[in-house]
Amino acid sequence: MTRTRLSHALGLCLVLVAGCGGGSTKGNLGDVLEVPATDVGQDSGGEDLWEEGVRDVPDGFEETLPGDLPAGDADVVLPDAEPDAEPDAPPVDVATDTPPPDSVEDVSADADGVEPEVIEASGSCATPIEVWGGKAVGPELPPGGLDYETRTGAVTSGSDPWCGPSGAQGEVVFRLVLGAPLYVILTALAQVPDYTPVVTFLKESCSGSLMECTAAEANGGTTEMATALPPGTWIAIVRLVPLQEGLPTEGVAVDASFEFEAGEICDNGEDDNADWDVDCDDPTCFWDPYCTGGHSGETCADPFLINNGAPVAPSQEFFEVGTLGGRIDDYQPGAACWPSVAGSSDAVWRIVLPAELTLEVAAAFYDGTNGQVYVMDPACSAVVSCLSPDVAGDPNLLVTLPAGTYHLVVDRGPDTPQSLAFDLYVFVDEP
Ligand SMILES: [Ca+2]
Ligand SMILES: [Ca+2]
Ligand SMILES: [Ca+2]
Ligand SMILES: [Ca+2]
């Protein structure tokens, strides 16, 4: 195992973005990077590069996030603090136990001039709130984003949270139709303190595959998620988890705002949306045929292709990108391998070895969380090689295999990533 190979290579990739547009599925020049033999296995200080390279929400998007909407913002009108909502109503006697109004009314316009849409009934899996009234978002985008003020209802999307704290909680369900690949930035905020919002995207329905899940930092009241989504129907679930015993889970006022950023143009060699990811490395291009070669990568029946399906040779190095988001759980490595998360979705690459060769393989999610890769036979009916169950630290798989066709399955490791986008690194060496 060469501990620094992946971190060094990925660090370089992230620093020299333009030179790492590669991946055998893309058909780009520069897919195959020759590595000097002297570089193999050396500790070259790559960890520093790796640290720099850990990705988060792109800088370009942070500026657009409505991060200045804490509770108490002038735009957020709490029910109890709104005696003027109905000018003709009798004054509220604060000394009595007057219940708050059923819905927030007469809210002021947001900073961007867009009036929040007030939804009195909470969205559920059966009747989600239709974002933009059900109109497809993209290529045309709503001006200034879309803001919703609503209240939590009972959990209808399953009992366990996908991420974040567990325990009693309420939720609001939205349905979003995308007509183009977009970055979707969803900000969720409880209008009262002591709740942690958890935001989840699922494909098509509440029982669809997980796309992304994120929760506020400990005790944080606002959760922001920027996620790349391909065209289609998506379910966004906002859960509010009480931070104290005895707080209500249903009927809690919550603000949810959707903003949309254009996706990358996948074949022009430029970073069009200023997130440092060029063309096929940009998550909004993960589903583009130019980058996938027309393959789904879902199973061994239609895998992505290392080296465009041609036999590989010693010293070849491949940088692939993809996401487990929205994918299906087709393969499990089994108890003899490094532990995976039960039911975790996976993606598949095919590699052809013309002779006995050594492979070094590793996968890491964009947030730095280690993923795992295991090698399967041509039909994906048996695991040929995987990391042992007691691996810790940097999980690089190093294996020498006889000539043949194999599949590399990228799957979740024991740790939960914040982003399901990942880098797959493959280095081919003499046995
Ligand atoms: Ca980009
Ligand atoms: Ca581009
Ligand atoms: Ca799969
Ligand atoms: Ca799996």
Kindly list the protein residues that place their beta carbon closer than 5 angstroms to ligand 1, a single-atom ion. 264, 271, 273, 275, 277, 282
From 215, 237, 262, the end of a domain falls on 262
Judge if 288 and 422 occupy the same domain: yes
How buried is 274 (Cβ within 10 angstroms: 0-12 exposed, 13-18 middle, 19+ buried)?
A: middle
Return the CATH number at 216: 2.60.120.380
- Cα–Cα distance measured from residue 303 to residue 299, given in angstroms and rounded to the nearest whole number: 6
pLDDT digits (tens, 9 = 90+) for 7-16: 333 433 333 3
Distances (CA, A) of 311 to 13, 276, 307, 382: 24, 31, 7, 21
Distance 78 CA to ligand 3 centre (A): 45
Distance 226 CA to ligand 3 centre (A): 23
Q: Residue 401: its pLDDT value, please?
A: 98
Judge if 252 and 399 occupy the same domain: no
- Cα–Cα distance measured from residue 157 to residue 208, given in angstroms and rounded to the nearest whole number: 10
Judge if 210 and 115 occupy the same domain: yes
Judge if 250 and 117 occupy the same domain: yes
**267 in a domain, yes or no?**
no
Contact 276, 366 (CB under 8 A): no
Number of H helices, E strands in the chain: 4, 19
Q: Residue 164: its pLDDT value, please?
A: 80
pLDDT digits (tens, 9 = 90+) for 292-351: 999 999 999 999 999 999 999 999 999 999 999 889 999 999 999 999 888 889 999 999
pLDDT digits (tens, 9 = 90+) for 179-205: 999 999 999 999 999 999 999 999 999
Q: H/E element holding 10?
A: helix 5-15
Judge if 301 and 202 occupy the same domain: no
**271 in a domain, yes or no?**
no
Judge if 169 and 220 occupy the same domain: yes
Distance 343 CA to ligand 4 centre (A): 6
Of 35 and 333, more confident? 333
Q: What's the one-letter identity of residue 301?
A: A
**270 in a domain, yes or no?**
no
CA 391 to chain CA centroid, nearest Å:
25
| Domain carrying residue 247 | 60-262
Kindly list the protein residues that place their beta carbon closer than 5 angstroms to ligand 3, a single-atom ion. 298, 327-328, 330, 346
Distance 51 CA to ligand 2 centre (A): 25
Distance 272 CA to ligand 2 centre (A): 5
| Token pair in block for residue 48 | 């520093």
Distance 21 CA to ligand 2 centre (A): 10
**183 in a domain, yes or no?**
yes
Structure letter (DSSP) for residue 417 = P
| Token pair in block for residue 247 | 């707080």
Judge if 290 and 394 occupy the same domain: yes
| Token pair in block for residue 291 | 């980058």
- Cα–Cα distance measured from residue 172 to residue 256, given in angstroms and rounded to the nearest whole number: 9
| Token pair in block for residue 263 | 């996706």
Distance 226 CA to ligand 1 centre (A): 13
**96 in a domain, yes or no?**
yes
- Number of structural domains (the chain) is 2
Distance 274 CA to ligand 2 centre (A): 10
From 199, 227, 262, the end of a domain falls on 262
pLDDT digits (tens, 9 = 90+) for 388-421: 998 877 799 999 999 999 999 999 999 888 788 9
Put simply, whether the predicted model's pTM sits higher than 0.75 gets the answer no
- Cα–Cα distance measured from residue 18 to residue 277, given in angstroms and rounded to the nearest whole number: 8
HSE (CB half, 13 Å, CA atoms) of 384?
20
Judge if 251 and 338 occupy the same domain: no
- Cα–Cα distance measured from residue 29 to residue 20, given in angstroms and rounded to the nearest whole number: 10
Distance 376 CA to ligand 4 centre (A): 13
From 207, 233, 262, the end of a domain falls on 262
**SS (HEC) of 178-245:** ECCCEEEEEEEEECCCCEEEEEEEEECCCCCCEEEEEECCCCCCEEEEEEEECCEEEEEEEEEEECCC
DSSP codes joined into one string, 145-186: -EEEEEE-B---S-SS-SSS--SS-EEEEEEEEESS-EEEEE
Torsion of CA 288, 291, 295, 300, to 10 degrees: -130
Contact 344, 312 (CB under 8 A): no
Q: Coil, strand or helix: which one is 294? A: coil
CA 180 to chain CA centroid, nearest Å:
17
- Phi and psi for 39 in degrees, rounded to 5? -80, -20
HSE (CB half, 13 Å, CA atoms) of 296?
9
pLDDT digits (tens, 9 = 90+) for 107-142: 344 456 678 899 888 899 999 999 999 999 999 999
**12 in a domain, yes or no?**
yes
| Token pair in block for residue 209 | 């595959």
Distance 73 CA to ligand 1 centre (A): 32
Distances (CA, A) of 170 to 239, 252, 378: 6, 8, 46
Judge if 53 and 65 occupy the same domain: no
Q: Residue 211: its pLDDT value, please?
A: 87
- What average pLDDT does the chain have? 79
Distance 67 CA to ligand 2 centre (A): 27
Contact 398, 357 (CB under 8 A): no
Distance 179 CA to ligand 2 centre (A): 19
Q: Residue 19: its pLDDT value, please?
A: 34
Angle between helices 5-15 and 46-53 (to 10 degrees): 50
Judge if 25 and 64 occupy the same domain: no
Q: Coil, strand or helix: which one is 226? A: strand
| Token pair in block for residue 50 | 């790796």
Pick the ligand that lies closest to the CA of residue 269: 2
Judge if 64 and 53 occupy the same domain: no
- Cα–Cα distance measured from residue 388 to residue 338, given in angstroms and rounded to the nearest whole number: 5
Kindly list the protein residues that place their beta carbon closer than 5 angstroms to ligand 2, a single-atom ion. 264-265, 268, 270, 272, 279
Distance 1 CA to ligand 4 centre (A): 24
Structure letter (DSSP) for residue 80 = G
Pick the ligand that lies closest to the CA of residue 228: 1
**15 in a domain, yes or no?**
yes
Judge if 245 and 351 occupy the same domain: no
Pick the ligand that lies closest to the CA of residue 349: 3
Contact 1, 398 (CB under 8 A): yes
